[in-house]
Amino acid sequence: MVDGRVAAVGDLEGSEADRTIDAAGMVVTPGFIDMHTHSELALIRDGRGLSKIRQGVTTEVVGESSSVAPRREGMEGGRWGVEPDWETLDGYFRRLESQGTSGNLMSYVSATQLRRYVIGEEHREPTPEELEEMKGLLAREMENGALGLVSRLETPGQEPTSAERSDTDELVELARVVAGYGGIYGSHIRYQDDRLVKGIEEAAEIGERAGLPVEIFHFKSAGYPVRGRLHEGLAAIERARARGVDIAADIYPYIAAAHGLDTEVPAWTHEGGTERFLERLADPELRPRIKREVTEYMTTKYYNEYEGTRGFDAVIISAVGHDPEE
């Protein structure tokens, strides 16, 4: 190693070094790239990134769900005692650099964040003027070093995300901006249940029309009706490749999903953002309705579309915090 780079490999007998590390019985590799993480604020809080660097991860890719930029005053986003003081990816990277970090970081820009910046938590289509504003913000962040655009079109549970309202044409318009910078489009596709193939075809269509590579996140067939049918999704990917679409997929090696319990409450409770959500949960007149709808959801839709076991039997509560920051 010279100046942090591999200078030579192989039989180096006779060579001299300032420092020799005995790696007998160990594996010597380049640093690993963790291509889907949520460490944005964790690294601001503690730049050492010990949970990753001790595993050999030297580069993380973030922003797959809701990116740290663009931001404006009044937007939610603080956590773990970290209050964002940046508006752009450049501002975020500068803060991270000023504090120091053990590894490297790359970030997407999420369609969710663009929508929240421009139209807030309203679940509707953007106007033509709002879409142009979103495209301008995305172009700015691509110039600030963003890797590309991501969408989160479906999440297990009842919680809607702003980007779930994004239709295909809207995402194509945004993806064309990214294509102009040589970026990529990544997606939590719209359907992972018995409509898995339809979800893959939509992602491929976006890449094909916009002219950029596509990455499908968390590739899986989710739920009882499609158990054992992942090959249908693989065939859909191969068909897209055969017609020239640059599309790939990644998968995590376990059969579970982790979310907050707020994802299991009715979608209408989230309208207007976190403050309104908490007000509704505290409303004694609404709580019986919320409880009833959660119970109905967990014992019918959840059973049919996701876990394949009866409702609450599929849920493990791993932690309960007493502090709102938890």
Q: For residue 294, give its domain range.
A: 261-314
Considering 200, 225, 249, which residue would you say is the last residue of a domain?
249
Same domain, 278 and 235: no
Three-state DSSP class for 231?
A: helix
Residue 121 lies in a domain: yes
Same domain, 239 and 289: no
CATH number, domain containing residue 62: 3.20.20.140
Number of structural domains in the chain = 2
Residue 94 lies in a domain: yes
Same domain, 215 and 113: yes
Same domain, 184 and 209: yes
The pTM score is 0.81
Q: Which two three-digit tokens encode residue 121?
A: 């938590």
Residue 145 lies in a domain: yes
pLDDT in tens, 123-136: 788 999 999 999 99
pLDDT in tens, 250-264: 998 887 777 777 777
Same domain, 66 and 211: yes
* CA separation for the pair 220, 225 (Å, rounded): 13
Provide the pLDDT for residue 270.
Answer: 80
Considering 208, 225, 249, which residue would you say is the last residue of a domain?
249
Same domain, 43 and 74: yes
Same domain, 37 and 81: yes
Same domain, 169 and 296: no
Provide the pLDDT for residue 200.
Answer: 96
Same domain, 295 and 149: no
- Maximum average pLDDT range among 1-15, 17-31, 115-129, 229-243: 229-243
Provide the pLDDT for residue 201.
Answer: 98
Residue 3 lies in a domain: no
* CB neighbour list of residue 199: distance below 8 Å, 6 or more residues apart: 153, 154, 189, 190, 191, 192
* CB neighbour list of residue 155: distance below 8 Å, 6 or more residues apart: 161, 164, 188, 259, 263
